[in-house]
Chains A and B, each alone.
Chain A
Amino acid sequence: MTTLTFKPLETYRDDFSFRNSPEAIARFPFPFPEDQYMYSVNLEPAVSRDPGSVFEHLFDVDEHYVSEMAERARVLERDPERCLVMPHMAPAAWDTLALLMENLSRDYPQHFRLDREGDAWHWHNLALGIDQRFTFGDPATLPCEPLEYITRQMQGDFAVLDQRDGDLFMDAGMVTCPADWSLRFDAGMSFKQWHSPVPMAHQIGVFDRALKYLLNIQVGAPVRRLNWTLTINPRLDTSPETYHEWGNDRGKVTPDNVGRLVHLRVELQLMVRLPRSNALLFGIRTYLISLDELVSNPAWARRMHRVMRDLPAPIADYKGITRYRQTLVDWLRRFDPEA
């Protein structure tokens, strides 16, 4: 087993001190299985594979844990509404807390510990220095609402979806590092409503098939998929609410700074049926890598060039790449000897 050590505090804003260690680059979930990119549902059972990789544990914790949690706290301080739980989702919030605590304490026993006696729970988060006794099911015994409590200690965003009327509804969540979407805007929406901005996907029926699949996810049989976009700077919080802070960054890309500024942003999306509430937990774990870091792997560099070069224009637009795409492709071409 590889040991997990946390890097000292890094930032995801202002001076952007976030960097990946060589080990983090080596385990980066590069999302392109082919030289061309096209939408696909690409779901697979979320079973443990490739020890040391991001697929080893259901919930991956990595060297950026402490920094990412500090970033989440900062976002919540400015905007507490990034966490939302509609009243009927209280059981699902407790379900989520139980699932996360059970998995973390089992998979990372050197950092997290959970002792339970009936409803009397005792939680240790050694990484963040938390020691909490509480009564499971009684929100008054925690410092804050249970979904917020546990996701303040978890990397990645979470949406908790209520299943009813043969559809899924975004009725709870913690979203502080979104790729240009907002829990506040999507709250209460159905699956198709919150996917409506995605171009070219409706025609090919991808979402009908995906929804049918998600509705039937069973207890004990979680699934996952990778999704990607690009971000300027290692900025986690690219939400519509803060667009004024990052929207202009896309105009700052030059041939000289592409490698440092442009980051591939990969989401490891996880869908888990919550046993007691029958809600669906949707985890979005975000990984960032600068292109300078990415091209240290020649195979990734070559493929990245081809994918960016051949990306259909509507997808490039949707992902916000169009403004600097040519600069990016020109820079990447040097890593693709056959191009």
Chain B
Amino acid sequence: MSALLDVRVAAIRELTPVIREYRLEALGGALPGFSAGSHVQLHLPNGRRNAYSLLGDPADTRQYRIAVRQQEASRGGSRYLHQQLRAGDVLRLSAPANLFPLHSEARKHLLVAAGIGITPFLAHSRELLRQGADFELHYAYRAGVSDAYLAELRQLLGPRLAEYPAGQRRLDPAALLRGRPLGSHVYACGPQSLLLDLKEQAAAQGWSDRRVHWEAFAAPEPGQPFRVELARSGRQLEVGADQSLLEALEANGVEIPNLCRGGVCGQCQTPYLKGDVEHRDHFLAAAERSNSLMPCVSRGCGSPILLDI
């Protein structure tokens, strides 16, 4: 699909015991510019491709910055980055894509982050400051564990930053959304429970969907191994327990368009003819699920899946 970029790991910084920041610079020339909210896919030597938000200043095209939290249930992505990647190593990236942009019609931006979900908002905050826009950042974290950018944000944002340290102050979406002017847009990134809560509260308070934006952690969950057949070529594939269908297809030379690799963007939609599918995506409407699946997250459960490709 799009061009791949070769970058060198210029520096690795340990921000907390579980979060590290990686600075990536171009091997030659500058990197493409990006808009706040963009992510890149890292193509790891072990075949994994993980998406990470670009958290640096969008105005800086000399380097990209990403932050990675070591996941306990890592399928090899975050573990590889934490344990094996060294400064000086070379990595391959997809060009930046943006599934979480700022809305050009918003009069006020409410940014809501929990834990490592703070990363896209670091770029958003810089962009909004540059525009002189009206915004607030609400940040829930666990002190000493997931508060990676707290000091930087306090300095950058001053009173625009509202803090919710775990065990001391609860982030309450209902209170946060209440009484906001009509031109307000809310953006959230964090664990599923927070996103669901926020979406529910927004709906209950009559916010239209177009004012509510969210980015889920785009990581496929492992599951049972299953079998797949490609209808047009008759090829058979095995998908391993900690592999996604998309990864299995790629490993066999079948490229499917994809952006988020987490079941939200809709790019990888693929028709299937037969089989029991556990869908797991946030994109397909119920009616579409009988003949389409999202190979980045969907898994087989039971009879093999016959893909119409």
Contacts and interface: CB of A to CB of B under 8 A. Distances in A.
Contact of B259 (A162, A216, A275, A277): A216
A22 interface: no
Contact of A275 (B3, B33, B37): B33
B103 A164 contact: yes
Interface stretch (A55-63, A217-225, A259-267): A217-225
A221 B1 contact: yes
Contacts of B3: 220-221
A165 interface: yes
A276 B33 contact: yes
A88 interface: yes
Interface residues on B, range: 20 to 34
Given A275-B33, A275-B35, A276-B35, A219 B104 contact: no
A135 interface: no
B34 A275 contact: yes
B2 A278 contact: no
B145 to A, nearest CB: 32
Interface in B96-113: 96-98, 101, 103-105
Contacts, number: 57
A276 to B, nearest CB: 5
B232 interface: no
B32 A220 contact: yes
Interface of B is mostly: loop
A74 B98 CA distance: 39
Given A162-B104, A164-B104, A276-B35, A220 B2 contact: yes
A103 interface: no
B95 interface: yes
Interface in B21-63: 32-35, 37-38, 58-59
Nearest to B4: A220
Nearest to B59: A276
Contacts of B257: 216
B105 A218 contact: no
B104 A216 contact: no
Contacts of B103: 164-165
Nearest to B103: A164
Nearest to B1: A221
A162 B97 CA distance: 15
Interface of A is mostly: loop
Contacts of B101: 163-164, 278
A281 B105 CA distance: 19
B267 A216 contact: yes
A88 B105 contact: yes
Interface residues of A, number: 18
Contacts of B128: none
Contacts of A162: 104
A219 B210 contact: no
Nearest to B210: A165
B265 interface: yes
Contacts of A218: 1-2, 94-97, 259
Interface in B229-273: 257, 259, 265-267
Contacts of B94: 218
A276 B34 contact: yes
A88 B131 CA distance: 10
Interface in A136-174: 162-165, 171
Contacts of A163: 101
A163 B35 CA distance: 12
A277 B210 contact: no
Interface string B97-138: 110010111000000000000000000000000000000000
Contacts of A171: 104
Contacts of A219: 2, 32-34, 95-97
A271 to B, nearest CB: 13
A275 B32 contact: yes
Contacts of B59: 276
Contacts of A88: 104-105
A142 B267 CA distance: 40
B35 to A, nearest CB: 4
Contacts of B38: 278
Contacts of A275: 32-35, 96
21 contacts: A89-B104, A162-B104, A164-B101, A171-B104, A216-B259, A216-B267, A218-B1, A219-B34, A219-B95, A219-B96, A219-B97, A221-B1, A221-B2, A221-B3, A221-B95, A275-B32, A275-B33, A275-B34, A275-B35, A276-B35, A278-B98
Interface of A: 88-89, 95, 162-165, 171, 212, 216, 218-221, 275-278
Given A88-B105, A219-B34, 18 more contacts: A88-B104, A163-B101, A216-B257, A216-B259, A216-B267, A218-B97, A219-B33, A219-B96, A220-B3, A220-B32, A221-B2, A276-B33, A276-B35, A276-B59, A277-B35, A278-B37, A278-B98, A278-B101
Closest 10 CB pairs of A and B: A221-B2, A275-B33, A278-B35, A220-B95, A88-B104, A276-B33, A219-B95, A220-B3, A218-B2, A165-B210
